[in-house]
Amino acid sequence: LENSETDNFREEFLALHPYDQAQFYEKVGPDIRQIIYQYLSPKEMADIFEAIELDDDEYKGILEEMDTTYAAQMIAAMYTDDAVDVLNELDKDQITHFLKIMDKDSAQDIKELLYYAEYTAGSIMTTEYVAIPENSTVRSAMTILRNAAPDAETIYYIFVVDDTNHLTGVISLRDLIIAEEDTLIRQIMNDRVVSINVTDDQEAVAQIMKDYNFLAVPVINSKNEMLGIITVDDIIDVIDEEASDDYSKLAGVSDMVTFDKSPFAAAKKRLPWLVVLLFLGMLTANLVDLFTGTLEKVAILAAFIPLIGGTSGNSGTQALAVAVRGIATGDVEEESKMKLLLREAITGIITGVVCGAIAFGIVFFWKHMWLLGVLVGTAICCSIVVATIAGSFIPLLMHRLKIDPAVASGPFITTLNDITSILIYLGIATMFISKLM
Amino acid sequence: LENSETDNFREEFLALHPYDQAQFYEKVGPDIRQIIYQYLSPKEMADIFEAIELDDDEYKGILEEMDTTYAAQMIAAMYTDDAVDVLNELDKDQITHFLKIMDKDSAQDIKELLYYAEYTAGSIMTTEYVAIPENSTVRSAMTILRNAAPDAETIYYIFVVDDTNHLTGVISLRDLIIAEEDTLIRQIMNDRVVSINVTDDQEAVAQIMKDYNFLAVPVINSKNEMLGIITVDDIIDVIDEEASDDYSKLAGVSDMVTFDKSPFAAAKKRLPWLVVLLFLGMLTANLVDLFTGTLEKVAILAAFIPLIGGTSGNSGTQALAVAVRGIATGDVEEESKMKLLLREAITGIITGVVCGAIAFGIVFFWKHMWLLGVLVGTAICCSIVVATIAGSFIPLLMHRLKIDPAVASGPFITTLNDITSILIYLGIATMFISKLM
């Protein structure tokens, strides 16, 4: 009876796609998960674990509820890149322990990948690829492929290497199945193979795979020795993460990859930025405070402070976002920094003059005070120009200094823009105070 | 001599990857492009055109510089989804003209796809897929595959259909090449095939392909008849575009897909948002204007206007960004809207109380005015709560009303937050004016 229950569960459950299995697994409680561990082999559990989407800090708890040997066997059965992702969430001691009790080959593969820095090609590559010698025939290549198929992460690109494991070419399975069986691989392979260095940034890898529409790309070291491959599914995750990362930072949220189910987790992600900006905002308040003499005399000046600060902040954010995205996609690399800054300066002047003129118009028709209109218009124009230049110069500088432009630029630019716009506005107002009264 | 020059160029150029060919093609001027058209066949030019990345409005000019018959043959030779993308940039007359002079089969395929609305699965699918009957053997399936390989967009997933073209299963080339030659496809195919309806939104398609790590997914109509496939390379573009789209809107730039080389183009993308916010900012100015009496008496109140408006704007943007991203990724669909709003309200209260307390502390120690501290702290706390709730409620409402939450929410929320924060701040200040003086 017990056995037939297991069989029924296994039959139903294993017919599902691993993603659906993972969805089920994530939803059930620890009791049912224990039953799943009993019913499924470590290898079957590995397929689920590859499709799972947990928060980084949840992996530890899940692995601790498994039998240690079972967990080690499961990690060993995963694709090396996924296994490394899981292990990276654990303490050093736990990693060592798991590596010790799993089979030696898997442990060796995993150890090699653990060594690569986060966000590099090495950290997202897998070692389960198919390589064939240059002088194989199509027939022998197909035999190698059939044997490798159950374990390889992809068999749709086959990489060609020489006797010393140097990458010399690539051939797609598409080309292989339409070729004559006796042809030598060397004759039909593509020898202009695009490869990635193991230390390259993962964003650069994503860009190449996107541009060339590759399903997989080979990873080599500086000696052109083949080390692994990166597959398109991992790249989709990278593209998604990087875009979401830049977006989070623009919005001032520390991380948006996971959608929070608890208000405390959400508050924890939002507070750091709010508090930093609160302190920086006090600088602005301090500055306005210096002009209370002017404001007491012409209180209407205060009415335009939010408008001028807001407009300057908006144009700064625009320039910042364009620069950050341009740096992320590599578009910025294509031209000189000076040319880019010059272009932003001209953009700032165009937008500044247009907005300044509109502001003058509105204030003039509303308050019938032409001097106040000129003042507000001039302040808006100047602060847009400054904000636009700062919004592109600061991220470029950060990039040069190897600081992530997205995270470091926001607070600087917001505060700088607030301060300059208020200085310009209240400064000019103070100069012409006698005419405004 | 002329001939050997052509041969040399063709040999060198065609050895390049289509992406590199496209890069070269994009960089040269119209004279060299004319030579390229002479040297390459429409089919070879089609490969380049599929890899090209032009601005939407540039396609027209490029097609006009080609001989019309050559252009029509080139479009006919492209994968149908790419051909439709190109044609969609042209006028109706031009489309009709091109369709008339190309071969009937291609014209028919293209016409069917032109019919589907933008951003639906139908608009990004291609009809060049491989389908085999259920009762084929593995051997006959391989023969069909070999014949289809040169034209199909992917041969790595083979879709299985019954006599009336209903989708009944899928089998990967990986499974096919390790199967026995006499096995029936029906026996080894996966009959739990995940498919997309032709009217589904492209974002939903992207989510499914990302979750399941598919390389291609079949598109069906409501009768389960197979119409086409969507491949992973198109989905990468969708993911990239959608993320970049939300990011552009958060930054207040009308579109960031192409990196502008001209300051006029950049200014054109940034001005609409700046001008809209300028007009809305005048509402805020009008509101502050009502409180000039209070500000004349206690001018230091003006010092905190930028701080309070800024903090409220920041927390509103955070809530907005999380909601917009949650809607885009589908995370929001999983739970009730009421629960989400309640969670945001609690998040707002937590962040509001923390920031309010910090603001009170700073003002108290800086100015030694406890009442001013309480006033600023209370205003910050209240306006963060309001801004957080508005920042999540408005995009959810937009989503319900089928308006893109990313585009419509920004100006509303910024203005609403400015107005409420100033009303709260100067309202309370006016109430306690006698104690502040």
Minimal CA separation from A96 to chain B, in Å: 30
Q: What is the mean pLDDT of residues B354-364?
A: 94
Beta pairing class for B226-231 and A196-197:
unpaired
pLDDT at A259: 66
Q: Return the percentage of chain B with pLDDT > 90, whole number.
A: 38
- Do the Cβ atoms of A177 and B237 come within 8 Å? no
User: What is the number of alpha carbons within 13 Å of residue A256 lying toward its C-beta?
Assistant: 30
- Do the Cβ atoms of B236 and A237 come within 8 Å? no
Minimal CA separation from A117 to chain B, in Å: 25
Minimal CA separation from A101 to chain B, in Å: 30
Reference B189, options B168, B208, B209; nearest CA is B168
Q: What is the mean pLDDT of residues A260-284?
A: 84
Q: Where are the beta strands (DSSP E) in B129-231?
A: 131-133, 157-161, 167-172, 196-197, 216-220, 226-231
pLDDT, one tens digit per residue, over A194-245 is 999 999 988 889 989 988 889 999 999 999 999 999 999 889 888 888 777 7
Report which residue type is found at B116: Y
* A219 or B5: which leads in pLDDT: A219
Token pair of B75 as six digits? 């479009």
Residues of chain A in contact with residue B351, where contact means CB-CB under 8 angstroms, are 267, 270-271, 274
Instruction: Rank A1-5, B168-172, B334-338 by mean pLDDT and report only the highest.
Output: B168-172
Q: Residue A2: pLDDT above 70?
A: no
- Do the Cβ atoms of B259 and A310 come within 8 Å? no
Angle between helices B104-114 and B68-77 (to 10 degrees): 70
The model's confidence at residue B265, banded by pLDDT at 50, 70 and 90, is confident
pLDDT, one tens digit per residue, over A169-191 is 999 999 999 999 999 999 999 98
Residues of chain A in contact with residue B332, where contact means CB-CB under 8 angstroms, are 259
Who among B244, B248, B278 is closest to A355 (CB)? B278
Q: Under DSSP, is residue A56 helix (H, G, I), strand (E, B) or coil?
A: coil
Q: What is the mean pLDDT of residues A117-139?
A: 91
CB interface of A with B, residues 289-318, below 8 Å:
289, 292-293, 295-296, 299-300, 302-307, 309-311, 313-315, 317-318
Token pair of B391 as six digits? 């920042």
CA gap A127, A225 in Å, rounded:
13
**Which domains, ranges and CATH numbers included, belong to chain A?**
2-115 (1.25.60.10), 131-239 (3.10.580.10), 263-436 (1.10.357.20)
For chains A and B, CB pairs below 8 A equal: 328
pLDDT at B257: 58
Q: What is the mean pLDDT of residues B190-214?
A: 90
Q: Residue A1: pLDDT above 60?
A: no
- Do the Cβ atoms of B278 and A358 come within 8 Å? yes
- Do the Cβ atoms of B299 and A318 come within 8 Å? no
pLDDT at B43: 92
Minimal CA separation from A49 to chain B, in Å: 13
pLDDT, one tens digit per residue, over A376-418 is 999 999 999 999 999 889 888 888 888 777 666 666 787 788 8
pLDDT at B211: 87
Q: Does A283 touch chain B (CB under 8 A)?
A: no
Sheet holding B167-172, edge to edge: B131-133, B157-161, B167-172
Q: Return the percentage of chain A with pLDDT > 90, whole number.
A: 38
Q: Does A181 touch chain B (CB under 8 A)?
A: no
pLDDT at B2: 61
Beta pairing class for A216-220 and A226-231:
antiparallel
Q: Does A286 touch chain B (CB under 8 A)?
A: yes
Q: Residue A36: pLDDT above 60?
A: yes
User: What is the number of alpha carbons within 13 Å of residue B133 lying toward its C-beta?
Assistant: 6
Q: Does A347 touch chain B (CB under 8 A)?
A: yes
The model's confidence at residue B427, banded by pLDDT at 50, 70 and 90, is very high
The model's confidence at residue B285, banded by pLDDT at 50, 70 and 90, is confident
Who among B252, B264, B311 is closest to A314 (CB)? B252
pLDDT at A43: 92
Q: Does B128 touch chain A (CB under 8 A)?
A: no
CA distance readout (Å), B243 to A210, A315, B118, B237, B413: 15, 21, 17, 10, 21
Who among A142, A156, A213 is closest to B233 (CB)? A213
pLDDT at A334: 67
A229-259 burial: b if 16+ Cβ within 10 Å, else e: bbbbbbbbbbbbbbbbbbbbbbbbbeebeeb
Q: What is the mean pLDDT of residues A70-85?
A: 91
CA gap A351, A337 in Å, rounded:
21
Residues with Cβ within 8 Å of B403's Cβ and at least 6 positions away in sequence, in order, are: none
Q: What is the mean pLDDT of residues B155-159?
A: 93
Q: Return the percentage of chain B with pLDDT > 70, whole number.
A: 96
Does the interface predicted TM-score (ipTM) exceed 0.85? no
Who among A267, A282, A418 is closest to B347 (CB)? A267
Sheet holding A167-172, edge to edge: A131-133, A157-161, A167-172
pLDDT, one tens digit per residue, over A327-350 is 877 777 767 788 888 989 999 999
Mean predicted lDDT score pLDDT of chain B:
87
CA distance readout (Å), B193 to A81, A83, A386, B172, B229: 27, 28, 56, 12, 13
CA gap B44, B73 in Å, rounded:
11
The model's confidence at residue A314, banded by pLDDT at 50, 70 and 90, is confident
Q: Residue B336: pLDDT above 80?
A: no
- Do the Cβ atoms of B247 and A248 come within 8 Å? no
Q: Does B436 touch chain A (CB under 8 A)?
A: no
| Phi, psi (deg, nearest 5) at residue A189 | -75, 160
Q: Residue A100: pLDDT above 70?
A: yes
What are residue A219's DSSP bridge partners? A196, A228
B306-316 burial: b if 16+ Cβ within 10 Å, else e: bbbbbbbbbbb
Minimal Cα distance from A264: which residue of B? B347
Q: What is the mean pLDDT of residues A313-327?
A: 85
Minimal CA separation from B100 to chain A, in Å: 31
Classify residue A57 by burial, with Cβ atoms within 10 Å: 0-12, 13-18, 19+: exposed
Q: With beta carbons less than 8 A apart as the criterion, state whether B358 and B376 touch.
A: no
* Token pair 């509820």 in the structure block, residue: A65
pLDDT at A407: 64
Q: With beta carbons less than 8 A apart as the criterion, state whether A219 and A195 touch.
A: yes
Handedness of CA A206, A207, A212, A213 (dihedral sign): positive
The model's confidence at residue A436, banded by pLDDT at 50, 70 and 90, is confident
pLDDT, one tens digit per residue, over B40-66 is 999 999 999 888 877 777 888 889 899
Instruction: Rank A112-121, B242-251, B325-334 by mean pLDDT and report only the highest.
Output: A112-121
Q: Does A420 touch chain B (CB under 8 A)?
A: no
Q: Does B411 touch chain A (CB under 8 A)?
A: no
Who among A215, A314, A366 is closest to B273 (CB)? A314
The model's confidence at residue B271, banded by pLDDT at 50, 70 and 90, is confident
Q: Does B35 touch chain A (CB under 8 A)?
A: no
The model's confidence at residue B334, banded by pLDDT at 50, 70 and 90, is low
